[in-house]
Amino acid sequence: MDSVEKGAATSVSNPRGRPSRGRPPKLQRNSRGGQGRGVEKPPHLAALILARGGSKGIPLKNIKHLAGVPLIGWVLRAALDSGVFQSVWVSTDHDDIENVAKQFGAQVHRRSSEASKDSSTSLDAIIEFLNYHNEVDIVGNIQATSPCLHPTDLQKVAEMIREEGYDSVFSVVRRHQFRWGEIQKGVREMTEPLNLNPAKRPRRQDWDGELYENGSFYFAKRHLIEMGYLQGGKMAYYEMRAEHSVDIDVDIDWPIAEQRVLRFGYFGKEKLKEIKLFVCNIDGCLTNGHIYVSGDQKEIISYDIKDAIGISLLKKSGIEVRLISERACSKQTLSSLKLDCKMEVSVPDKLAVVDEWRKEMGLCWKEVAYLGNEVSDEECLKKVGLSGVPADACAAAQKAVGYICKSSGGRGALREFAEHVFLLMEKVINSCQK
């Protein structure tokens, strides 16, 4: 294995040429057969997300933003927060996917061109990965297209492998669907029931349904994979909740998938809190960042009426809205917008001002939402409970954020982020009522 970069969050394995399909020599380890000295180590369980760049359906689908987060980010967050993997990897052939994987804290295996063809299978890519990672004993192959995966699912499966001795475990979902045989000319002229008696159709509550693979994950021990299997040996399924069983390969209607993720997705270890303060950077968020100067040297700015409505909706829901800028904006110009918000301009340290506002209102950081777009917003974005940036925000701000808008600054980004806040607050309220 060629290490391009060092460090848990940035190491890269880079196969050179076509990888061998045979098993490479095992490294000498203290974890088997009492080799060497030291305490026996548990088997190395690695999470592996396959994310090829050449998706034919949706270009670069694996990093397309779903509910403000790159698609692959949802499963990486769940895998890392589960705490059951000794390493979390993304196997890819694309630079942009590699950058997103590192941003979320995963390690990267640079897939060879041989394992990146349209005809290449998942098993090809997994075997290639193992050929360069002798330390790995068990692979948890997690599908990037399953954004509603939760850490608890992965924790239970790891226990099945490690404690109950299963060689392979895969995810399924229960469905209550009646199946019928396909009509084929010259072969079968009539359809036939496959899993029911039409004369005694069961009610849903009287039928257990059937189990279907949902593709969220496949865990298998090394020896099985090297024999060409992801399922085999002492084998078991893990039944996922139906609401967590979302597959973007199937749910091609992206907006519907986003609604499912916002309602049932995993948002991190810390529980969401109700937002009480919404802070927005003025230049590049409320406005598009353009400044016009009139003949008499007066400053002119523009904003989108959708964003003004967004501010109004936030205030009507009981959320305090405040505006901030490091630039010496004209307060007279801002007042003419009639947004009725407290604002602070010429701010050299935005974090200090927002912290003062937070303390003044008696809030914790988790009760604050922040929409920013510049390097000067980075610390605030990292600190608050909910953070967002417009689509055209700088790279540093995008890396620090939890939600990236589809809209640009001054073009509806504030309204979009406000809608995101409302959806998550509904999630908070629903969880409190359970």
Mean pLDDT, residues 399-426 taken together:
90
Mean pLDDT, residues 281-298 taken together:
79
Residue 16 has pLDDT above 70, yes or no: no
For helices 413-433 and 305-316, the axis angle rounded to 10 degrees is 20
Active site residue 201: yes
Residue 176 has pLDDT above 70, yes or no: yes
Banded model confidence at residue 236, pLDDT cuts 50, 70, 90: very high
Provide, rounded to the nearest whole percent, the portion of the chain with pLDDT above 90: 56
Cross-strand bridge partners of residue 418? none
Token digits of residue 74 = 């949802």
Provide, rounded to the nearest whole percent, the portion of the chain with pLDDT above 70: 84
pLDDT of residue 248: 81
Catalytic residue among 21, 32, 201, 241: 201
Q: Is 408 left (phi over 0), alpha (psi -120 to 50) or beta?
A: beta
Residues 6+ apart with CB under 8 A from 50: 90, 91, 92, 122, 125, 126, 141, 143, 144
Banded model confidence at residue 251, pLDDT cuts 50, 70, 90: low
Banded model confidence at residue 370, pLDDT cuts 50, 70, 90: very high
Higher pLDDT, 118 or 158: 158
Of 93, 100, 107, residue with least CA distance to 44: 107
Return the half-sphere exposure (C-beta side, CA atoms, 13 A cut-off) of residue 228. 1
Banded model confidence at residue 32, pLDDT cuts 50, 70, 90: very low
pLDDT of residue 31: 39
Residues 6+ apart with CB under 8 A from 332: none
pLDDT of residue 115: 76
Decide if 376 contacts 351 (C-beta within 8 A).
no
What is the C-alpha to C-alpha distance for residues 202 and 208, in angstroms, rounded to an integer? 10
pLDDT of residue 15: 46
Neighbours of 353 (CB within 10 A): 17
Q: Which domains does the chain have, with CATH numbers?
A: 45-264 (3.90.550.10), 277-433 (3.40.50.1000)
For 326-344, what is each residue's pLDDT tens digit?
988 766 666 666 788 888 9
Residue 350 has pLDDT above 70, yes or no: yes
pLDDT of residue 317: 92
What is the C-alpha to C-alpha distance for residues 63 and 69, in angstroms, rounded to an integer? 8
Mean pLDDT, residues 119-144 taken together:
93
| H helix count then E strand count, the chain | 12, 18
Residue 417 has pLDDT above 90, yes or no: yes
Banded model confidence at residue 400, pLDDT cuts 50, 70, 90: confident
Of 279, 287, 351, residue with least CA distance to 320: 279
What is the C-alpha to C-alpha distance for residues 182 and 188, in angstroms, rounded to an integer? 8
pLDDT of residue 17: 39
For 188-227, what is each residue's pLDDT tens digit?
889 999 998 898 888 888 888 899 999 999 999 999 999 9
What is the C-alpha to C-alpha distance for residues 119 and 123, in angstroms, rounded to an integer? 11
For 78-128, what is each residue's pLDDT tens digit?
999 999 999 999 999 999 999 999 989 999 999 988 877 777 789 999 999
Residue 21 has pLDDT above 90, yes or no: no
Token digits of residue 2 = 């060629």
pLDDT of residue 369: 96
| Summary mean pLDDT of the chain | 85
**What are the CA-CA distances from residue 185 to residues 21, 163, 192, 194, 260 (Å)?**
43, 52, 14, 19, 40
Residue 159 has pLDDT above 70, yes or no: yes
Residue 46 has pLDDT above 60, yes or no: yes
Of 4-13, 162-171, 290-299, 300-309, the range with the highest mean pLDDT is 162-171
Mean pLDDT, residues 405-430 taken together:
88
